[in-house]
């Protein structure tokens, strides 16, 4: 377990931008990380870091009880925004953490944790909750048909469609390679049994 923690810590230190590292450390200090979970880019990073080098830009967090965000509210302030892409309450809470003259945005979404697949992994040496590989794979694949120009009309945003298409393809490729490896292993076993 300690080896896994150190391996991921070294990897995270190399692959996460300085500003995002500082923002994450601020989150670890100001929030009870047992009551929040990472989704979006952080979950993608954790789920796929063994396969790809991925940047982290904004930080997306889900919570069940808004009171759990009280220290961030007091220390940095939180602004409420309407978000047409978020179907539960249509509201996102946003905080900004200023480091090196750059703002790192953290978006907070209210979610019922029992309705999302969550797991734990190390992130910068801390054990955190995050959306599972399958949860994020399904999410990105499900977003593609919802974001086409036919589906969104005048509200079409090619960058949003591209982002989900790219991430869906990364997850799908990992699954494809895993299935290919399993088939090869099965084939090797069958071949040996015929000898």
Report residues of the chain scoring pLDDT below 70: 1, 84-89, 195
Rounded to whole angstroms, how far apart are CA atoms 174 and 136? 13
At 98 the pLDDT is 87
Indicate if 125 and 42 belong to the same structural domain: yes
At 94 the pLDDT is 92
Indicate if 56 and 111 belong to the same structural domain: yes
> pLDDT (tens digit, 9 = 90+) per residue, 91-125?
899 998 888 888 899 999 999 999 999 999 999 99
The token duo for 155 is 């509200």
> pLDDT (tens digit, 9 = 90+) per residue, 11-31?
999 999 999 999 999 999 999
C-alpha dihedral, 25 to 30 to 31 to 32, nearest 10°: 100
**Of the residues 96, 112, 131, the one at which a domain ends:** 131
Indicate if 21 and 114 belong to the same structural domain: yes
pTM exceeds 0.75, yes or no = yes
**Of the residues 91, 114, 131, the one at which a domain ends:** 131
At 37 the pLDDT is 98
At 32 the pLDDT is 96
- Which runs of E-coded beta strand occur in the chain? 36-39, 59-63, 79-82, 91-99, 102-110, 118-123, 126-131
Indicate if 61 and 140 belong to the same structural domain: no
- Number of domains present in the structure of the chain: 2
Side-by-side strand order, sheet with 126-131: 79-82, 91-99, 102-110, 59-63, 36-39, 126-131, 118-123
Indicate if 47 and 64 belong to the same structural domain: yes
């Amino acid at each position: 377990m300690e080896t896994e923690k150190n391996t991921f810590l070294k990897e995270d230190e190399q692959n996460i931008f300085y500003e995002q590292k500082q923002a994450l450390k601020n989150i670890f200090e100001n929030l009870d990380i047992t009551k929040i979970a990472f989704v979006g880019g952080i979950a993608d990073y954790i789920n796929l870091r063994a396969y790809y080098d991925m940047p982290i830009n904004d930080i997306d967090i889900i919570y069940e009880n808004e009171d759990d965000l009280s220290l961030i509210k007091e220390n940095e302030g939180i602004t409420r925004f309407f978000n047409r892409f978020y179907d539960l309450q249509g509201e996102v809470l946003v905080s900004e953490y200023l480091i090196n003259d750059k703002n790192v945005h953290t978006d907070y979404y209210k979610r019922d944790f029992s309705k999302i697949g969550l797991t734990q992994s190390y992130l910068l040496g801390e054990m955190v909750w995050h959306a599972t590989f399958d949860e994020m794979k399904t999410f990105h694949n499900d977003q593609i048909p919802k974001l086409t120009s036919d589906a969104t009309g005048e509200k079409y945003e090619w960058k949003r469609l591209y982002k989900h298409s790219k991430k869906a393809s990364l997850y799908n490729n990992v699954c494809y390679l895993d299935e290919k490896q399993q088939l090869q292993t099965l084939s090797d076993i069958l071949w040996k049994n015929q000898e």
